[in-house]
Amino acid sequence: MSLLPVSEALERILASFEKLDSLHIPLKDSVGRILAEEIVSATDLPLFDNSSMDGFALRASDVTQAGSATPISLPVVDDIPAGKMPTHHLQVGEAARIMTGAPLPPGADAVVPVEETDFNNRAPGAALPESVQIFKAANLGANIRKRGTDIQHGESILHAGQRLRAQDLGMLAMLGVADVPVCRKPRVALLSSGDELTPIGQPLTEGKIYDVNSYTLGALLEAAGCEIIPLGVAADTPEAIKAALYSAKDADLILSSAGVSMGSFDFIKDVIEKEGKLNFWRINMRPGKPLTFGHYQNIPFIGLAGNPVSAFVGFMVFVRPVVEKMLGSSQQAQIVVRARLTEPIQSDGRESYLRAYLYHENGQRYAKLTGHQGSGNLFSMVQANALLIIPPEVKSLPTGAEVTAWLLE
């Protein structure tokens, strides 16, 4: 039986998802969220002409002859700290003390920093001098931040679909945006399945292992911006699986791992077939061939293979793009680079995802496999910083061949 190509599997999965609705949340909670609407500036920034230095505001034409041996003395007619409005319209031959960020007084067209005056005394509380000696000529506009030079009213600042970073939050604060339109977090019900799985914190009895995928997939989901509905670990019976899935009623996606192979205790596929609709259950991929996709009572269901590496890779290939689509994210799910192999690679003709360590040498990026590629060997994933993608049909690649790689954050 020919297996479904990865690209077609992804297309079929993505077709079942839509962008979710949005809501407004407080700015301080919005880092990492996906912006739901374009942000257009409702103001000029800076909002008013202001000084970029602590110094003296004046008219440049009054100090063209100023020099260290020929200082020009000007009366100081105003004192303008940040946050206060000037009280004088500056006349020819006048100066006003001004602090960084304070509004420029009308009539002034330059600021001379204190360092270039005889008032180079920034001790807090220094009294306003009656006059100031200017030691240096100033260019027109010197040390003035003009209104609207950074951002103009109506300018597009952030686009819908971008993930908000610290600097974006700062920008929104600068614009006075207190509530940010973001996409609702996708709700993902997360299920592990298998009689052998023991929750961590409990002693292992003979033949058992700890549940790994709840943690890996949980962390990946959270990092991708999802809210998790934990369904725990289901035993290998159809009843236990159905009982666990009952709590997934409000989910946008059910994500399970294991129980989808050809084993005598792999019931996930049966449950989906009986309680919903199976779309496909095997794909041309390594690791992660037994990927199951369908709907459980109208909720999209992705059943990843159970081995820890298979589950991880399956997430990267199929779940991450689904999450990005639900979030309306404009960013690519994966960061793609090219690298040269430092050793030959054998493949079985399936689209393969190999764990590798990428490094730079002499301006070239190289990829070195991180140990054996068994789908249970999570340590090789721990040592990896990238997944190499070996296309379908490729059976071997020589040392030095260039391959595509996804960076693992």
> Cβ of residue 193: shortest distance to Mg ion, in angstroms?
6
> Cβ of residue 181: shortest distance to ligand AMP, in angstroms?
37
Does the footprint of ligand AMP cover residue 285 (CB under 6 A)?
no
From residue 300 to residue 319, what is the string marking binding to ligand AMP with x (rule CB under 6 A)? -----xxxx-----------
Q: Find which of ligand AMP, Mg ion, none residue 128 binds, CB within 5 to 8 Å per kind.
A: none
State the Cα–Cα distance between residues 87 and 82, nearest whole angstrom: 13
Does the footprint of Mg ion cover residue 104 (CB under 5 A)?
no
Report the residue from 46, 103, 194, 321 that binds ligand AMP according to the rule CB under 6 A.
194
Does the footprint of ligand AMP cover residue 258 (CB under 6 A)?
yes
Name the residue among 282, 260, 285, 287 with its Cα closest to residue 373. Answer: 287
Kindly identify the residues of this chain, within the stretch 240-269, that bind Mg ion according to CB under 5 A: 258-259
Spell out the residues 6+ positions from residue 350 whose beta carbon is closer than 8 angstroms to its own.
3, 284, 285, 286, 289, 392
**In whole angstroms, how far apart are CA 215 and each of 92, 203, 313?**
71, 18, 14
State the Cα–Cα distance between residues 57 and 78, nearest whole angstrom: 9
Spell out the residues 6+ positions from residue 67 whose beta carbon is closer than 8 angstroms to its own.
135, 136, 137
Number of residues that bind ligand AMP (CB under 6 A): 19
Number of neighbouring beta carbons within 10 Å of residue 11? 10
Number of neighbouring beta carbons within 10 Å of residue 49? 19
> SS in 3 state form for 147-160?
CCCCECCCCEEECC
Q: What token pair was written down for 388?
A: 């190499």
Report the residue from 74, 197, 245, 367 that binds ligand AMP according to the rule CB under 6 A.
197
Length of the chain: 409
Kindly identify the residues of this chain, within the stretch 174-193, that bind ligand AMP according to CB under 6 A: 192
Does the footprint of ligand AMP cover residue 344 (CB under 6 A)?
no
Q: Find which of ligand AMP, Mg ion, none residue 324 binds, CB within 5 to 8 Å per kind.
A: none
Does the footprint of ligand AMP cover residue 196 (CB under 6 A)?
yes
Select from 15-23, 136-144, 192-200, 226-234 the region that touches Mg ion (CB under 5 A). 192-200
| Residue pointed to by tokens 């399970």 | 256
Does the footprint of ligand AMP cover residue 63 (CB under 6 A)?
no
Q: Interface with ligand AMP by CB under 6 A: which residues?
A: 192, 194, 196-197, 209, 211-213, 257-261, 263, 266, 305-308
